[in-house]
Amino acid sequence: MKDVRITTGNGDAVTVPAAAVENLKSSLRGALLLPGDEGYDKSRTVWNAMIDRRPALVAECAGVADVCSAVAFAREHKLLTAVKGGGHNIAGNAVCDDGLLIDLSGMRAVMVDPIARRAHVEPGATLGDFDCETQAFGLATPVGINSTTGIAGLTLGGGFGWLSRKYGMTVDNLTAADVVTADGRLLRASDKENADLFWAIRGGGGNFGIVTRFEFKLHPVGPELLSGLIVFSMKEAVSALKKYREYVKKLGEETSVWTVLRKAPPLPFLPPQVHGTDIIAFALCHSGNAEEGRKEIEPVRHFGTVLGEHVGVQPFRAWQAAFDPLLTPGARNYWKSHNFVDLSGEAINVAVKYASTIPSPQCEIFFGLIGGATTRPAPDATAYSHRNAIYVLNVHGRWESASEDSKCIEWSRAFFRESAPYATGGVYVNFLTDDESDRIKAAYGPGYERLVATKKKYDPENLFRMNQNIRPGA
């Protein structure tokens, strides 16, 4: 082991003596990696290929003790510190240049208590890990729509998916968490213990410490349910979206229908002549009785002339992974997002205009539908505050080659600017890119000052700053 040059939180470079590095290494059950070591590149790689950062040290944590050791080391040397769960966050804050990366992705255990309907989840678990273990008992809680996403980052920002209209945001189903705070303590956060911390981690991101265990309540779901896709031509998108917004107003909470505008992927149920053309797809899922579900989704089939339909009863786990092939890691991605309470005619026109000029085949615009149970808690019940949001719009710029960066980024930004007048001004913190620090307050919403106070209490030196950062002094 040799001395390591490493960056501090305020950007200075310091030398950490070899003995201190050796000491950390020997205290860990997992590996301590330096550039060039086997596994280093895997640890530093995140979902969005636009992010290519090289930490000076990687602590691959195998358990809570490793997290405590890594946090103590970071605090002692005042290091720039990044925390990686599933590595999916678009902004890429899960990895830093020249600092310490605390990599939790090896801690993937999910333990289910089917009697109490509780899941205890380690912070490296993916949504696929979670669904695998919970669905074995016909149980689930609302999480996102791509099985390789990490449960940790998703939960800490709020979290929503197909089940949210019925069971709320992911944070509404979090019953407790274990958190290693900047001072090295392991705290239990729940309604009864450290309630201020519990409030803050339900939407305030990774600002307050490292969560080493999440405890979720679970609901009976599936294990098979009605789900699938109904596809129309983009030429019918304006009228389809107008019918959709009226349909949504009367929609039961067991049904969720999301909208995607993009170029048709070569899906086997679409005729070959449709592949690559501009389409609008309605992705739907009904978590209750399948026959009831068929009745409830029937209007969607009349939003226009169906180009292709693939709807049926299938395992919930399969539906939870259905979009994985379109969301593989390693592509370049740039997102823009905001929330809507309704889809005005103007908002629809702008969306269809930009969806008809997609700059690269994998770019898409989607409206994720929430509402129902997500709107019932008071805005200050959790740090996630956007309880008025019904649609979460995401302009999903996605492409393969750096040569396409500027046209795809400009397309995403232009659409965002033109649609902003019809949106709420609020934004889901987990969809912010790394150039949107001006939107952080809007993302945290009215609870921002309370989050600052909580940050001052639990992380006064801002050790955990590689996130959508709440500055303790702000």
Ligand X SMILES: Cc1cc2nc3c(=O)[nH]c(=O)nc-3n(C[C@H](O)[C@H](O)[C@H](O)COP(=O)(O)OP(=O)(O)OC[C@H]3O[C@@H](n4cnc5c(N)ncnc54)[C@H](O)[C@@H]3O)c2cc1C
Applying CB under 6 A, the residues found at the interface with ligand X are: 46-47, 83-90, 93-94, 104, 123, 144-146, 149-150, 152-154, 156-157, 159-161, 205-206, 210-211, 327, 430, 466-467
Cβ distance to ligand X smaller for residue 140 or 210? 210
Residue 172 CB, shortest distance to ligand X, in Å, is 12
Cβ distance to ligand X smaller for residue 418 or 434? 434
Residue 371 CB, shortest distance to ligand X, in Å, is 14
Please state, in angstroms and rounded to a whole number, the distance separating the CA atoms of residues 42 and 191.
37
Residue 150 CB, shortest distance to ligand X, in Å, is 2
* 8 A C-beta contact, residue 251 and residue 288: no
Cβ distance to ligand X smaller for residue 87 or 228? 87
Residue 2 CB, shortest distance to ligand X, in Å, is 29
Residue 302 CB, shortest distance to ligand X, in Å, is 27
Residue 431 CB, shortest distance to ligand X, in Å, is 6
Cβ distance to ligand X smaller for residue 154 or 174? 154
Cβ distance to ligand X smaller for residue 181 or 419? 181
From 428, 460, 467, 471, select the one nearest 83 (Cα to Cα). 467
Cβ distance to ligand X smaller for residue 258 or 307? 258
Cis peptide before 223 (omega within 30 of 0): yes
- On the 0-12 / 13-18 / 19+ scale of CB atoms within 10 A, 438 is exposed
Cβ distance to ligand X smaller for residue 225 or 274? 225
Cβ distance to ligand X smaller for residue 274 or 373? 373
Residue 161 CB, shortest distance to ligand X, in Å, is 5
Residue 324 CB, shortest distance to ligand X, in Å, is 9
Q: What is the largest CA-CA distance in the chain?
A: 70
**Which amino acid, 295?**
K
